[in-house]
């Protein structure tokens, strides 16, 4: 059943409107303040709003409703005994969808209410379908990106979930930094490709269990630029972000990283985020060249490298929430095993 909210300071009009609209679930408020509260609580499909009310006029109530994110799309019909096009013009400029004069013609009122309720519900259903399709496309893009990046990871014989874990940690760090959901999701997807350049590194170097020679290490470090070159010409924002991450996730805060020795905030924020996420997961994980580190040892390493290898602020976020990140790491690890 559709819901109607009536905001009117005259009890007789509230009773009349309620009796005229028996097919709807009707809620009522006798002043603007209560009306605003009910609108957010009830989330009606239509608001019938009187203009001439004491303390807060209908115009002011409408203005405030349109400034509230989750109710601003609810259609508003102004009700008034005022006559003249000026009143209608003000109402439409404030965002109302219709204007009905008192006293009401019952048939006209019912027809207009039904029209606007049906239209609002149709638009809401269409938006839900769009949101659902958008979410499916987002998930598909993430899976395709993950599969593409996995080629490089399988080549290097690293654990299959390293990419997913790093992307999850990048997302969490981005959230702790106060970024909005869209930006955090973009970083999550883009960071999956941080090591895509490893497809260009010879297997004998990539999977060597011993320490690399100086020449081998020089070749290994080229994977950052290789990854950047693979991604940078894309027209898509997420791929350009991925190119930046691929290039900079081995740069260091003190400028002693690679490939360009960039330092401090000259390194992009996404590069600094991924640097922390990548090393955090790599130290905890087993690799061909090392056994997994203990949680205590990992924490001590980040404490010692704060402001040296890693951005001090991002490192502080990791350390302040270390138990949560460890719990997340274990959860992702267990999810893979099951």
Which of 86-90, 149-153, 199-203, 297-301 has the largest mean confidence?
297-301
Judge whether residue 228 has pLDDT over 90: yes
Lowest pLDDT segment from 24-33, 122-131, 252-261: 122-131
Q: Is 43 left (phi over 0), alpha (psi -120 to 50) or beta?
A: left
What is the CATH topology of the domain spanning 156-337? Hypothetical protein af1432 (1.10.3210)
Domain with CATH 1.10.3210.10 in the chain: 156-337
CATH architecture of 3-127: 3-Layer(aba) Sandwich (3.40)
Question: Which percentage of the chain shows pLDDT scores above 70?
Answer: 90
Average pLDDT of the segment spanning 138-164: 65
Q: Which residue has the higher pLDDT, 181 or 131?
A: 181
Which of 52-56, 145-149, 240-244, 309-313 has the largest mean confidence?
309-313
Q: Name the residue among 239, 298, 299 with its Cα closest to residue 270.
A: 239
Judge whether residue 15 has pLDDT over 90: yes
Judge whether residue 338 has pLDDT over 60: no
Judge whether residue 133 has pLDDT over 50: yes
Do residues 219 and 202 lie in contact, with contact meaning Cβ atoms separated by under 8 Å? yes
Domain with CATH 3.40.50.2300 in the chain: 3-127
The whole-angstrom separation of Cα 166 and Cα 158 is: 13
Q: What is the pLDDT of residues 60-116, one digit of tens each?
A: 999 999 999 889 999 999 988 766 557 777 888 888 999 888 888 888 899 989 999
Question: Which percentage of the chain shows pLDDT scores above 90?
Answer: 60
Sign of torsion over alpha carbons 301, 283, 194, 202: positive
Residue 288 CA neighbour count, 13 Å, CB half: 16
Model-wide pTM > 0.75: no
- pLDDT bin (cut points 50, 70, 90) of residue 320 is very high
Predicted local distance difference test score (pLDDT) of residue 241: 94
Q: Which residue has the higher pLDDT, 200 or 260?
A: 260
295 exposure class (CB count in 10 Å sphere: 0-12, 13-18, 19+): middle
Within 10 A of 106 (CB to CB), how many other CB atoms are there? Answer: 13
The whole-angstrom separation of Cα 53 and Cα 36 is: 14
Q: Name the residue among 190, 189, 311 with its Cα closest to residue 244.
A: 190
Average pLDDT of the chain to the nearest whole number: 88
- pLDDT bin (cut points 50, 70, 90) of residue 200 is confident
Predicted local distance difference test score (pLDDT) of residue 7: 95
Predicted local distance difference test score (pLDDT) of residue 336: 57
Within 10 A of 321 (CB to CB), how many other CB atoms are there? Answer: 15
Predicted local distance difference test score (pLDDT) of residue 246: 95
Judge whether residue 190 has pLDDT over 70: yes
Strand order in the sheet with 25-29: 25-29, 3-7, 46-50, 76-80, 98-101
Q: What is the pLDDT of residues 249-297, one digit of tens each?
A: 999 999 999 999 999 999 999 999 999 999 999 999 988 778 999 999 9
């Amino acid at each position: 059943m559709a819901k109607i909210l009536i905001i009117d300071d005259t009890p007789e009009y509230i009773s009349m409107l309620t009796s005229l609209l028996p097919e709807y679930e009707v809620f009522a408020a006798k002043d603007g303040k209560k009306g605003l509260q009910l609108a957010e609580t009830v989330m009606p499909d239509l608001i019938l709003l009187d203009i001439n009310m004491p303390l807060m006029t209908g115009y002011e109530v409408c203005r405030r409703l349109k400034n509230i994110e989750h109710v601003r799309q609810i259609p508003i019909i102004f009700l008034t005994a005022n006559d003249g096009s000026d009143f209608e013009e003000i109402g439409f400029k404030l965002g109302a969808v219709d204007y009905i004069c008192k006293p009401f013609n019952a048939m006209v009122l019912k027809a207009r209410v039904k029209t606007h309720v049906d239209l609002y519900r149709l638009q809401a259903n269409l938006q839900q379908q769009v949101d659902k399709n958008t979410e499916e496309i987002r998930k598909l893009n993430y899976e395709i990106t993950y599969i593409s990046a996995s080629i490089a990871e399988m080549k290097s014989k690293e654990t299959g979930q390293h990419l997913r874990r790093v992307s999850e940690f990048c997302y969490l760090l981005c959230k702790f930094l106060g970024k909005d959901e869209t930006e955090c999701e973009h970083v999550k997807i883009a960071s999956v490709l941080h090591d895509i350049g490893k497809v260009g590194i010879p297997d004998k170097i990539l999977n060597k269990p011993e320490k690399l020679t100086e020449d081998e290490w020089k070749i290994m470090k080229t994977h950052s630029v290789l990854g950047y070159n693979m991604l940078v010409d894309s027209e898509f924002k997420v791929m350009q972000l991925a190119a930046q991450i691929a290039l900079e996730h081995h740069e260091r805060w003190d400028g002693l990283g690679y490939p360009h020795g960039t330092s401090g905030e000259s390194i992009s924020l996404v590069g600094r985020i991924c640097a922390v996420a990548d090393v955090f997961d790599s130290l905890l994980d087993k690799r061909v060249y090392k056994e997994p580190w203990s949680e205590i040892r990992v924490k001590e390493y980040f404490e010692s490298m704060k402001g040296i290898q890693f951005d001090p602020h991002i490192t502080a976020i990791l350390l302040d929430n270390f138990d949560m990140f460890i719990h997340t790491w274990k959860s992702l690890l267990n999810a893979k095993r099951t």
